[in-house]
């Protein structure tokens, strides 16, 4: 998963679960759930694990701590990453008159820290805390110099982090070795759940209106340390119509009563942001493009019933550029 900026709504036995950080498999008592080397929004969510799972919504979910494993290579999203995410959006709006429409969960700034090699990981937190504290202070200071209005309670944050470290220590494993054993030990069924959609991929999405991670099948290899030859079936999940949260290109969008109908009947609200999703007809060009990159072996078509009340259904089948059809996604 790229981080808790994506939300998955899962309905099982009439109960609805909204997942942002945890793999959906956490509700299966027979499954081991593993959070790989993707970014972990950590400061509050992991501190509240016990209370989160004691909510009446999730009653009956027992022994989840024994079934949740966190990779030691997962990067940590700090409070100041989230604050900077919001400040950057304000900056873009002021300078360019538009923003990217991020979820303001700190994902982009954390990936920036990761790429700049100043990021901090779970393994750093759980080893030498003095060294971790020193690097944390340096990172915080870097952001304060870039954003003078940014306020960071450094000592308060470090005190919380030290407490959280002990709470999650039993769940942390060497993620690469864990996956290697899963792949080469006794036969297991391994299902990898990705966050976001192909068109939000940092490399292949509608840049710059994308997330900061690889949402395509390549993320399985880079996110978990799984060799390519172990990737078997690839399931593409697609609605019978197209939706998007936030701004960015959307050729089949219906800003009319059709779009309103799809939005209301399909309950199209962002799980993480609560924002209305933009809705339009199914775009086969982007679906084919997603297939080019991911090589789907099967498609899971969802929400077909939302279209039941329509007499006529339209589908986007081709793009034109300069009056001519083009066989690719530009």
Catalytic residue among 30, 114, 144, 324: 114
Residue closest to 249 by CA, chosen among 219, 286, 196: 286
Pairing between β-strand 315-316 and β-strand 319-321 as defined by DSSP bridges: unpaired
**Cα-based torsion angle of the residue sequence 260, 261, 264, 270 in order, rounded to the nearest 10 degrees:** -60
Q: What is the 3-state secondary structure (H, E, C) of the chain?
A: CCCCCCCEEEEECCEEEEECCCCHHHHCCCCCEEECCCCEECCCCCCCHHHHHCCHHHCCCCCHHHHEEEECCCEEECHHHHHHHHHHHHHHHHHHCCCCCCCCCCHHHHHHHHHCCCCCEHHHHHCCHHHHHHHHHHHHHHHHHHCCCCCCCHHHHHHHHHHHHHHHHHHEECHHHHHHHHHHCCCCCCCCCCCCCHHHCCCCCCCCCCCCCCCCCHHHHHHHCCCHHHCCCCEEEEECEEEECCCCCCCCECCCHHHHHHHHHCCCECCCCCCECEEEEEEHHHHHHHHHHHCCCEEEEECHHHHCCCCCCCEECCEEECCEEECCCC
Residue closest to 195 by CA, chosen among 263, 271, 268: 271
Tokens 């009439």 found at: 14
CA atoms within 13 A on the CB side of 251: 17
Asked about 66 being catalytic, the answer comes back as: no
Q: Find out whether 42 and 157 touch, Cβ atoms under 8 Å.
A: no
**Active site residues per annotation:** 114
């Amino acid at each position: 998963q790229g981080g808790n900026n994506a939300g998955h709504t899962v309905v099982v036995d009439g109960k609805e679960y909204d997942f942002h950080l945890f793999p959906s498999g956490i509700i299966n008592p027979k499954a081991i759930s593993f959070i790989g080397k993707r970014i972990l929004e950590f400061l509050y969510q992991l501190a509240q694990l016990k209370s989160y799972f004691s909510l009446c919504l999730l009653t009956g979910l027992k022994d989840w701590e024994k079934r949740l494993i966190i990779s030691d290579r997962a990067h940590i999203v700090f409070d100041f990453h989230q604050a900077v995410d919001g400040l950057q959006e304000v900056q873009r709006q002021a300078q360019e008159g538009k923003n990217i429409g991020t979820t303001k969960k700190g994902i982009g700034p954390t990936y920036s820290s990761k790429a700049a090699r100043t990021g901090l990981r779970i393994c750093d937190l759980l080893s030498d805390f003095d060294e971790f504290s020193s690097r944390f202070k340096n990172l915080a200071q870097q952001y304060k110099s870039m954003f003078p209005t940014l306020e960071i309670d450094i000592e308060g944050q470090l005190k919380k982090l030290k407490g959280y470290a002990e709470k999650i220590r039993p769940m942390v494993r060497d993620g690469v070795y864990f996956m290697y054993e899963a792949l080469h030990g006794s036969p297991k069924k391994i299902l990898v759940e990705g966050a976001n959609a192909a068109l939000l991929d940092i490399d292949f999405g509608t840049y710059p209106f994308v997330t900061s991670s690889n949402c395509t099948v390549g993320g399985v290899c880079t996110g978990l340390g799984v060799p390519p030859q172990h990737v078997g079936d690839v399931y593409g999940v697609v609605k019978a119509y197209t939706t998007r949260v936030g701004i960015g290109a959307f050729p089949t969008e219906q800003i009319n009563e059709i779009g309103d109908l799809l939005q209301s009947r399909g309950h199209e609200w962002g799980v993480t942001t609560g924002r209305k999703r933009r809705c339009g007809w199914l775009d086969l060009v982007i679906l084919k493009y997603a297939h080019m990159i991911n090589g789907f072996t099967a498609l899971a078509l969802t929400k077909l019933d939302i279209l039941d009340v329509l007499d006529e259904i339209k589908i986007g089948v081709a793009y034109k550029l300069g009056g001519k059809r083009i066989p690719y996604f530009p």
